[in-house]
């Protein structure tokens, strides 16, 4: 497709069975000992997937490695583990096969892609206190030297070395890692030329470092940070090739070709067009494939969009405009201007009533009536939950039968009433299962929902949806983000009927399940014609209305998931405070219009949020749950540090650190869960600890869930018995003393 679109420099080795960081860990032999990798030869896919997903069979029972977000995207990567036993070696032939496959497909000069050594080290987890990242550089770059020499022998002229960590805040050690790694690579005589690739932001304070690393080329993300160009032009050497990422690889809107060409001309005037390459800002992994596949998309909005294939056409058009003059692509530029003007002037983008309501938001609307301690007391009296309340995060399996029903509805083989009746039966079975299993706070299972963001977007103004705009999240998991093109508002209650139905089936509390404003914002392709803060506040008002309707329907616990709130952190620390202020305020605007007795939960997963624990505390929720099992509760260290005062545990919310990794097919044993709960109890007071899985169970099978939930319940009930015994002993001791 790239070749057909006229792209001349085509990457390879940019496909991963799971993710590119895991590929790199395997490439350099950084496999933890528990996976039983050989000390020589190639590491096979069995070990690769055991690292990503865990394994539980006759051959092995090992947990998966930690997973977190790739910078500020919704793409995940497996976090490499490095310790004193790590011995780097060339352990995979995957990159070389990728070159061979590209050539077999007719690409004479493919450019292989590697995660650079500095980014790999900086994103890895150091497992031993005595190990320093900088001390690992020499051994690691020896493996890179082998890889580069092999590429050279294969006739590869250029290698793309991805170093996105260059756009983050780098301390002295990190800068030294870069210098040490690339000083060594620069001495290598037997290697291809290197295109050092940065993306997702501007170099800013690293603008001196990147051009000084001795690579033959440098790629800049000018879609996110066009202002960095002039400074970089002053710093590059006279031979360096500059790759200009002027087409946004992260969003779906058409490029303003005139603005992009102005940037290109600025660079060409300084360094000459022969030293320039025109490119997307980053990998098109983060963008849907082809707009032409969308046969049902609203024609007006479709004219404003560009997916992956269309972005290739924009790259080619800009290249031709530079090489042959604008007249050679006049028709494409005219179409771009027309689409941009139509989008700016469309009456569908602005809803005056939404703008008016935004202007009427007050500070009081984002505050609960009472503080957390008073609410906790009232909620305990209202809900009467046992110690270590047992719950799940929200969804239950979207089985083949459910997916077939949805497909049958689209084909007209069944009616909407048929589907609803079947989903009600599935909801009833799931409520019954939770009651029988011994859970204390139930969920309805979310069988009516296609996706935790798309489901809500379908019921709001300002969204449009696609048929085939899938993007990878991790492994074989893909998501189909909705597109926010205009002002957002809720048209009618979105979840009340289903939650109320589930609550009618049981005397136990059923959680209302909502997705928070920051997550809907972050997991959509969001409009770029107004500040993100304004769109987030519009979403918050829509969720606020839903929360109020759930409370009116008698729902006593409402969970507003915000897994993307930490993910949305700007990559520069100086921008954190501004973002956190409006993101947290938006959540509070959505959640604060309820009585003190209504318990508000939130959930976060697969993120590093200890550094923003104060902001999370400021969300003022009653219960927070989050991923905890893959890190073996290391994430709780932030709570320990925060609670180092004389007052003891100082976090305002009750806490549910996940004790069951739902992204792995493994079934954790009672002993394994008990160990994790005891680790949690070393930091969280027993009366404040909830017991739950890491995340929703949508992607798991019932054959995995049933034994895992049974073990989770058994472990929690054992803790309750232990607590009851301790209380009785204390009471008896007190009576004897009297």
Residues with a known catalytic role = 663
Contact 484, 463 (CB under 8 A): yes
Provide the strand spans (E) within 63-120: 67-69, 76-78, 81-82, 111-115
Task: State whether the Cα torsion 77-83-89-92 is positive or negative.
Answer: negative
Provide the strand spans (E) within 117-204: 125-126, 158-162, 193-197
- CA nearest neighbour of 587 among 366, 371, 360, 394: 366
d(CA 584, CA 518): 9
- CA nearest neighbour of 563 among 507, 504, 627, 468: 627
Which residues lie closer than 8 Å to 338 by C-beta, 6 or more apart?
A: none
Tokens matching residue 197: 């690739």
Please provide residue 630's backbone torsions phi and psi, each rounded to the nearest 5 degrees: -65, -35
Please provide residue 575's backbone torsions phi and psi, each rounded to the nearest 5 degrees: -95, -5
Question: Under DSSP, is residue 175 helix (H, G, I), strand (E, B) or coil?
Answer: helix
Question: Under DSSP, is residue 488 helix (H, G, I), strand (E, B) or coil?
Answer: strand
Query: SS3 letters for 218-269?
Result: EEEECCCCCCHHHHHHCCCCCCCEEEEEEECCCCCECCCHHHHHHHHHHHHH
| Count of positions (residues) in the chain | 738
Cα angle 306, 308, 312; round to 5:
90
Distance linking the first and last C-alpha atoms of the chain: 85
Element (H, E) at 278: strand 276-280
Sheet holding 193-197, edge to edge: 11-12, 111-115, 158-162, 193-197, 217-221, 241-247, 276-280
Query: SS3 letters for 695-721?
Result: CCCCCCCHHHHHHHHHHHHHHHHHHHH
d(CA 167, CA 201): 6
Written as one string, the DSSP assignment of 659-706 is -S-TTSS----HHHHHHHHHHHHTTS-GGGB-B--SS--TTS-HHHHH
Please provide residue 439's backbone torsions phi and psi, each rounded to the nearest 5 degrees: -70, 155
d(CA 383, CA 569): 35
Provide the strand spans (E) within 118-224: 125-126, 158-162, 193-197, 217-221
Question: Under DSSP, is residue 193 helix (H, G, I), strand (E, B) or coil?
Answer: strand
Bridge-based pairing state of the strands 76-78 and 67-69? antiparallel
Task: State whether the Cα torsion 248-254-260-261 is positive or negative.
Answer: positive
Helix ranges, 236-351 (H): 257-271, 299-302, 308-324, 330-345
Which residues lie closer than 8 Å to 604 by C-beta, 6 or more apart?
A: 561, 562, 563, 565, 566, 616, 624, 625, 626, 627
């Amino acid at each position: 497709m790239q070749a057909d679109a006229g792209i001349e420099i085509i990457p390879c080795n940019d496909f991963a069975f799971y993710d590119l960081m895991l590929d790199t860990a395997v490439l350099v032999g950084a496999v933890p000992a528990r996976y039983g990798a050989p000390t020589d030869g190639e590491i096979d896919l069995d070990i690769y997937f055991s690292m990503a997903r865990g394994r539980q069979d006759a051959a092995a029972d090992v947990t998966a490695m930690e997973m977190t977000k790739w910078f500020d995207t919704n793409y995940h990567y497996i976090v490499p583990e490095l310790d004193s036993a790590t011995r780097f070696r060339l352990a995979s032939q995957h990159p070389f096969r990728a070159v061979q496959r590209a050539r077999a497909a007719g690409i004479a000069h493919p450019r292989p892609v590697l995660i650079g050594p500095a980014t790999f080290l900086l994103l890895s987890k150091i497992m031993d206190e005595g190990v320093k990242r900088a001390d690992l550089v020499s051994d690691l770059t020896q493996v890179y030297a082998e890889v580069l020499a092999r590429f050279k022998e294969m006739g590869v002229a250029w290698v793309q070395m991805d170093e996105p960590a260059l756009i983050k805040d780098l301390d002295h050690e990190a800068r030294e890692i870069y210098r040490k790694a690339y000083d060594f690579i620069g001495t290598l005589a037997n290697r291809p030329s290197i295109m050092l690739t940065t993306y997702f932001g501007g170099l800013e304070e690293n603008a001196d470092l990147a051009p000084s690393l001795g690579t033959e080329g440098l790629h800049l993300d000018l879609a996110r940070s066009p202002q960095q160009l002039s400074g970089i032009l002053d710093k590059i050497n006279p031979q360096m090739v500059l790759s200009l990422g002027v087409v946004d690889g992260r969003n779906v809107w058409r490029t303003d070709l005139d603005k992009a060409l102005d940037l290109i001309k600025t660079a060409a005037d300084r360094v000459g067009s022969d030293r320039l390459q025109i490119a997307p800002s980053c990998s098109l992994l983060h963008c849907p494939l082809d707009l032409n596949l969308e046969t049902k998309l609203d024609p007006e909005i479709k004219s404003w969009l560009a997916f992956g294939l269309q972005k290739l056409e924009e790259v080619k058009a800009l290249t031709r405009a530079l090489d042959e003059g604008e007249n050679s692509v006049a028709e494409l530029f005219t179409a771009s201007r027309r689409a941009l003007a139509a989008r700016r002037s469309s009456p569908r983008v602005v809803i005056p009533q939404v703008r008016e309501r935004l202007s009427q938001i007050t500070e009081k609307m984002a505050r609960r009536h009472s503080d957390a301690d008073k609410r906790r007391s009232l909620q305990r009296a209202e809900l009467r939950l046992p110690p270590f309340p047992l719950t799940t995060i929200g969804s239950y399996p979207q089985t083949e039968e459910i997916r077939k029903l949805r497909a049958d509805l689209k084909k007209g083989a069944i009616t909407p009433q048929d589907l609803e009746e079947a989903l009600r039966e599935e909801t009833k079975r799931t409520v019954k299962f939770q009651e029988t299993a011994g859970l204390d706070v139930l969920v309805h299972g979310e069988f009516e929902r296609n996706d935790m963001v798309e489901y809500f977007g379908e019921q709001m103004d300002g969204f449009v949806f696609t048929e085939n705009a899938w993007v990878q999240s991790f492994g074989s998991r893909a998501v189909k983000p909705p597109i926010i093109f205009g002002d957002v508002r809720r048209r009618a209650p979105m979840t009340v009927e289903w939650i109320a139905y589930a609550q009618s089936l049981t005397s136990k509390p059923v959680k209302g399940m909502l997705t928070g404003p920051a997550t809907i914002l972050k997991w959509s392709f969001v409009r770029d014609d107004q500040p993100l803060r304004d769109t987030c506040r519009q979403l918050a008002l829509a969720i606020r209305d839903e929360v109020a309707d759930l409370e009116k329907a008698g729902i006593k616990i409402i969970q507003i998931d915000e897994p993307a709130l930490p993910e949305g952190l700007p990559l520069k620390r100086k921008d954190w405070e501004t973002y956190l202020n409006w993101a947290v305020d938006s959540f509070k605007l959505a959640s604060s219009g309820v009585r003190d007795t209504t318990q508000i939960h939130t959930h976060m997963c697969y993120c590093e949020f200890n550094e923003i624990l104060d902001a999370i505390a400021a969300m003022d929720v009653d219960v927070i749950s989050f991923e905890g099992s893959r890190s073996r509760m290391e994430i709780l260290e932030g709570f320990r540090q925060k609670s180092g005062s004389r007052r003891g545990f100082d976090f305002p919310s009750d806490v549910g650190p996940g004790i069951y990794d739902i992204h792995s097919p493994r079934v954790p044993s009672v002993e394994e869960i008990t160990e994790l709960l005891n680790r949690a109890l070393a930091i969280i007071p027993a009366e404040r600890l909830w017991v739950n899985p890491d995340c929703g169970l949508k992607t798991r099978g019932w054959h995995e869930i049933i034994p895992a939930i049974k073990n989770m319940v058994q472990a929690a009930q054992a803790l309750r018995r232990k607590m009851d015994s301790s209380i009785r002993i204390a009471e008896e001791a007190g009576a004897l003393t009297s």
